[in-house]
Chain A
Amino acid sequence: MTSGQRSLVGMSMLAAGLLLVLAAAGIAWSGVQRWLAVSETRDALEMLRRDRVADARKLAAKASARVPDEVAPALLALDTADLDAVERIEAIAARGTSRADRETAHAAMALARVAKGKAAGFDLEGSADGRLLAAMAAANAGRDPGRLKPVDGEAPPHLNVLRAAHTVLLRRAWQAGKVSEVRAHAGALLLLRPRAPEAPLMHLLVGAGSALLPDAEAIKLCEAVKQEQEAAIRAVAALLPQRRAAIAARWPKAVEGLP
């Protein structure tokens, strides 16, 4: 090989080496971005568990900007009250490689629509999500949602679909004065998230609705409710006539005007 040829080969190798360095820098940068996004998504999930929804959404939005094709941060960043934003999730779900993530995105879209009083828009048959959303839609429309009995072989429900469905069905049963249904939905919400802000109210509904709990214990459960205490106690008194006397002794105004 002449010196000219040798120089040419050397320069080509140098150019190829530089290209490899550039490629390595690009891959490393995307790796670092992904790492940050994973960390932010995990933090957002932790915040959601602590009911810091707005902070979780902000953090997930940052993560989603780093990895725009990932379904997990995009869903956590989603403002479910904004149906236009919900529709945009479909494009991200279509790009997602995991079938489970796609199904979760569809469940999230369906839940957001049903919560806004619209049709689910997705066929979620064969999954508990579909059954829960149908019950939720029926309750919202004033129809009988039927019993929430699990079907063998169906895919398990998602946590927030379960929470939303129990919330809607609890409210409906409460309004209809169906104590056993109220206890069942409140018990499910209590077991799902015993540290949630609404947990003391659920504890009260489960406990006060049981004839085995003495009035003094029921009053203690009433005192533990901190959110909208007055309204909650009045609504419990309206639902449970057998507790009215005990409630009236402690909170006379709560039972005023009740039949």
Chain B
Amino acid sequence: MIQALRTVLWFVVVTLLLVVAAVKLPEQLARAQVPAEFDDQSGLVPMTGVWLAPPPFAAGDVVAFRFGDGPDDVGFGVVRALPGEQVRLVGGELLVDDNEVNGWKDAGLYQGIHDVGPMTVPAGHLFVVSTNHRYDSLARGVIGPDQVLGKVRE
């Protein structure tokens, strides 16, 4: 009789645990709106030798982003403008909301043209500039939310 009670009790406990897990787990995971590339527990993932952290991003963060389908199509750059900010190229200088960006190096894109824009960075997108401009926003446009892998941790 005791064994029967124990079996039934075990059964009830397991069922209750499963029901709680089935109801609560989706809620908890829905709250964690971070890209799948990140480990939910630590918020970090090792990738191409660097550690990445999830959003939110700020101007000056170095981010990794995909620019193609291939596993090696990953670029790195500095976030220069966030959604809603205005980007403008004036006389070889980069202006974000009319403030000059330091550490910017013009690589001759739009050469001879002294005033381009202004362009508002769309929702969810980032304006990212890298050193050689091959894969950054100046060469390929704003980086979409599905392209950003995360920011490089110091």
Contact = CB atoms under 8 A, between A and B. Distances in A.
Interface of A: 1, 5-6, 9, 13, 16, 20, 42, 45-46, 49, 97, 128, 150, 154-159, 162, 183-184, 187-196, 203, 206-207, 210, 212-214, 217
B1 A156 contact: no
Nearest to B66: A46
Given A5-B4, A46-B69, A191 B117 contact: yes
B39 to A, nearest CB: 18
Interface stretch (B44-52, B83-91, B99-107): B83-91
B146 interface: yes
Interface string B50-90: 00000000000000000001000000000000011011110
A249 B117 CA distance: 30
Size category of the B interface is 35 or more
A188 B86 CA distance: 10
B71 to A, nearest CB: 14
A217 to B, nearest CB: 5
A187 to B, nearest CB: 4
A217 B108 CA distance: 14
Given A157-B122, A158-B123, 10 more contacts: A20-B18, A154-B84, A156-B123, A159-B142, A159-B144, A162-B120, A188-B119, A188-B120, A210-B113, A213-B112
A192 B125 CA distance: 10
B7 to A, nearest CB: 6
Interface in B7-64: 7-8, 11, 15, 18, 30
B140 interface: yes
Given A154-B84, A159-B125, A191 B1 contact: no
Given A9-B4, A156-B121, A156-B123, A191 B116 contact: yes
